[in-house]
Amino acid sequence: MTNKKNLFDLTGKVALVTGASRGIGEAIAHLLAAYGAHVIVSSRKQESCEQVAQAINDAGGSASAYACHVGEMEQIDSIFAHISSEYEKLDILVNNAAANPYFGHILDTDLAAYQKTVDVNIRGYFFMSVAAGKLMKEQGGGVILNTASVNGVVAGDMQGIYSITKAAVISMTKSFAKECGSLNIRVNALLPGLTDTKFASALTNNEKILKGALTQIPLGRVADPEEMAGAVLYLVSDASSYTTGATLTVDGGMLA
Ligand SMILES: NC(=O)c1ccc[n+]([C@@H]2O[C@H](COP(=O)([O-])OP(=O)(O)OC[C@H]3O[C@@H](n4cnc5c(N)ncnc54)[C@H](OP(=O)(O)O)[C@@H]3O)[C@@H](O)[C@H]2O)c1
């Protein structure tokens, strides 16, 4: 039964957030914990995850840390074996960790950059969703949220292969939503615009690029990572109980 007074309540839920050691993922982890979820903080570096988990616990929330490189299949197996034995369920998966190793002309993309971007952003999101979906099927439902990007809709300059993978994430969101709806698993995507994180620093630290980007953003500024987290809370909570296969753009109006 939905709690009508607090559609956003996540008490009793177990949530896994990838790429949660900093940036958008860290902000998401903090907000989901503030709304009652136990959050498993994940990235490639255990120590960085432990620091975020500690900060959540210090703030009165509940969190643990478990490292997982989502571009490595055996590490995906390992984190889901851990989740099955430790929690016996997963209510929420936030696929947020992504790679963007190459910034340059698409014709100069080398195989290593191509492979890394595809392995992390497509294969990683895909098999994390498969593993989560199997657990969610057993328990009668769950929610998956994929962090895509506005670049999945409008190709980013000098970010060809990255933009292609983000378009794939949008398509993946729809495919999983379609086939998993009857299993009571909802799957949606967040499309962030330019957000002030390490990931975007090649753009935000370059005065010329930043100035050009800001002319495309009606709100006239870069987002704070915290400004992405509210949209994620909506999409993983009962507030969005009839929403699946959708994309929610949070871009200061850029795509408009
Ligand atoms: N910032 C933007 O302007 C922007 C715009 C649109 C979309 N996005 C999307 O937002 C998401 C988060 O990006 P962000 O801006 O918050 O970046 P960020 O601050 O650089 O954080 C990236 C996070 O991902 C982790 N990570 C990187 N590679 C990983 C891998 N292979 N396996 C597991 N974890 C990995 C990093 O930690 P470790 O180094 O410890 O692994 C870190 O926690 C990404 O999907 C990105 O595409 C960002």
Which of 16, 17, 22 for a ligand 1 pocket mutation test, highest count of atoms within 8 Å of Cβ?
A: 22
Q: How far is CA 94 from CA 113, 241, 256, in A?
A: 24, 16, 26
Q: How far is CA 138 from CA 73, 91, 101, in A?
A: 22, 11, 37
Nearest residue (CA) to ligand 1, atom 30: 69
pLDDT at 2: 60
Q: Encode the chain (256 residues) as per-residue pLDDT tens digits.
A: 566 779 999 999 999 999 999 999 999 999 999 999 999 999 999 999 999 999 999 999 999 999 999 999 999 999 999 999 999 999 999 999 999 999 999 999 999 999 999 999 999 999 999 999 999 999 999 999 999 999 999 999 999 999 999 999 999 999 999 999 999 999 999 999 999 999 999 889 999 999 999 999 999 999 999 999 999 999 999 999 999 999 999 999 999 9
The fold of the 8-198+225-250 domain, in CATH, is Rossmann fold (3.40.50)
pLDDT at 5: 75
Residue showing tokens 């378009």: 167
Is the CB–ligand 1 distance for residue 71 below 6 Å? Answer: yes
Of 173, 138, 123, 139, give the one whose Cα is nearest residue 153.
173
Which of 18, 49, 198, 199 for a ligand 1 pocket mutation test, highest count of atoms within 8 Å of Cβ?
A: 199
pLDDT at 202: 86
Is the CB–ligand 1 distance for residue 99 below 6 Å? Answer: yes
Residue 27 CA: nearest ligand 1 atom is 16
Residue 95 CA: nearest ligand 1 atom is 45
Of 123, 126, 253, give the one whose Cα is nearest residue 180.
126
Tokens of 93: 């998966």
Is the CB–ligand 1 distance for residue 22 below 6 Å? Answer: yes
Active site residues: 162
First vs last C-alpha separation in the chain? 37
Is the CB–ligand 1 distance for residue 70 below 6 Å? Answer: yes
